[in-house]
């Protein structure tokens, strides 16, 4: 019987499920009830993040609480949750700001506002389950305030920087020689197509690497992406993306991929589906040649597209729809704010003295 093709999302979910099982083996037995309870309402990626975050909490108890000094993490029983007080949760937040990684004792792990909020939110969900199921009597996590997140200025490329970036990818070989030039020429068409696609559609890097060749439709100039939550959506692209993709697909037709990677749209030099990290490194490599003051990632290319789309259309609901935001208020917060161009006008708008 011919085996059906597994999508990138299905393959990733399978890998994540196996990885989650490995992490759960390092946690107390009772934690499995919690992860089983959220298996139908969360993604596999979210559950792995929760597992790592919960493991850090138990590690904190082992490291900082004398009562648990000689215990192993797997020896904790459910009753321990009722022994924890609000003051312990506050101490845990302080611990999270800087602690030693037990997998690499030479490395110090730090958390900013977002890291602290995510970890305390995971712990809140963890406690809430056992409290709701009447398996514990107290929930000290609700007595501790969640760290406030301060808004950050959105980092994005200006229009001239977008042009410079694409021009650099297209012509960087003019200044290279030897092996560097050979590698550049080998990947130039792919890299240009990939970055053009990110800048021209605003799709997430995970959506980009998950694309299959069958997801590209030149008849309607659209790509089928799987958004957060598993919903499929058609994102349309313009002539520049079309041209870059067609050039790459001509080269791609001469590549013989490794088994299991036949359907991937973007191939690595190892003839496998490109991963998220590879795309992040690729974008960083090229962006550093265009701007040294901005830390450009694939997500920043998404912000660049969202900003440009809003400035061109003024339609915040269109931007939210295309970017796949579930809450339009998220989009408003990021893209309907006063932009740099308007701020610059403020510099010359007020006259202090008549010239």
Hey, which residues does 109 pair with through a beta bridge? 99
Hey, which residues does 110 pair with through a beta bridge? 98
Predicted pLDDT at 348: 60
The architecture that CATH gives domain 8-143 is Orthogonal Bundle (1.10)
| β-sheet with 232-236: strand ranges across | 216-217, 222-226, 232-236
Q: Residue 36 and residue 24: Cα distance in Å, rounded?
A: 11
Structure tokens at 109: 């792990």
Q: Residue 263 and residue 7: Cα distance in Å, rounded?
A: 9
Predicted pLDDT at 351: 59
**Domain boundaries for CATH 1.10.443.10 within the chain:** 159-338
Q: Label residues 68-91 b or e (16+ Cβ within 10 Å = b).
A: beeeebeebeeebbeebeeebbee
Q: What CATH topology corresponds to 159-338?
A: hpI Integrase; Chain A (1.10.443)
Quick one: DSSP state of residue 145? P
Write down the residue that tokens 């990947």 correspond to.
187
Q: Residue 255 and residue 261: Cα distance in Å, rounded?
A: 11
Tell me the pLDDT tens digit for each residue of 168-216: 999 987 888 888 898 889 999 999 999 999 999 999 999 999 999 999 9
Sign of the Cα pseudo-torsion (294, 295, 300, 301, in order)? positive
HSE-up (13 A, CA, CB side) for residue 306: 30
Q: Residue 181 and residue 80: Cα distance in Å, rounded?
A: 60
Q: Label residues 200-239 b or e (16+ Cβ within 10 Å = b).
A: bbbbbbbbbbbbbeebbeeeeebbebbbeeeeeeebebee
Tell me the pLDDT tens digit for each residue of 56-114: 999 999 999 998 988 999 999 999 999 999 999 999 999 999 998 877 778 899 999 99
Structure tokens at 25: 């083996």
**Domain boundaries for CATH 1.10.150.130 within the chain:** 8-143
């Amino acid at each position: 019987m011919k085996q059906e093709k597994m999508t990138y999302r299905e393959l990733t979910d399978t890998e994540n499920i196996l990885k989650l099982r490995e992490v759960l083996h390092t946690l107390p037995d009772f934690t499995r009830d919690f992860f089983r309870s959220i298996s139908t309402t969360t993604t596999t990626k979210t559950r792995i993040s929760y597992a790592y975050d919960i493991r850090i909490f138990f590690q904190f108890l082992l490291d900082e609480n004398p009562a648990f000094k000689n215990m192993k993490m797997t020896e904790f029983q459910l009753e321990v949750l009722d022994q924890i007080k609000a003051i312990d949760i506050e101490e845990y937040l302080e611990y999270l700001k800087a602690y030693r990684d037990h997998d690499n004792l030479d490395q110090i792990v730090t958390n900013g506002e977002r890291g602290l909020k995510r970890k305390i939110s995971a712990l809140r969900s963890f406690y809430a389950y056992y409290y709701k199921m009447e398996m514990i009597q107290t929930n000290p996590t609700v007595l501790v305030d969640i760290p406030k997140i301060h808004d950050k200025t959105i980092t994005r490329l200006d229009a001239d920087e977008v042009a410079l970036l694409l021009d650099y990818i297209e012509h960087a070989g003019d200044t290279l020689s030897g092996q560097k030039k050979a590698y550049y020429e080998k990947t130039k068409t792919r890299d240009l197509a990939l970055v053009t696609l990110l800048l021209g559609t605003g799709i997430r890097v995970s959506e980009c690497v998950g694309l299959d060749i069958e997801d590209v439709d030149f008849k309607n100039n659209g790509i089928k992406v799987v958004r957060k939550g598993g919903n499929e959506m058609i994102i349309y692209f313009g002539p520049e993306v079309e041209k870059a993709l067609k050039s790459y697909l001509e080269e791609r037709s001469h590549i013989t991929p490794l088994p299991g990677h036949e359907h991937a749209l973007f191939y690595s030099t190892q003839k496998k589906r490109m991963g998220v990290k590879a795309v992040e490194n690729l974008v960083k490599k090229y962006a550093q040649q265009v701007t040294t003051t901005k830390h450009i990632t694939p997500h920043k290319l998404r912000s660049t597209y969202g900003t440009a789309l809003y400035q061109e259309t003024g339609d915040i609901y269109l931007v939210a729809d295309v970017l796949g935001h579930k809450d339009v208020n998220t989009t408003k917060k990021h893209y309907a704010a006063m932009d740099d161009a308007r701020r610059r006008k403020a510099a010359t708008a007020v006259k202090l003295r008549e010239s």
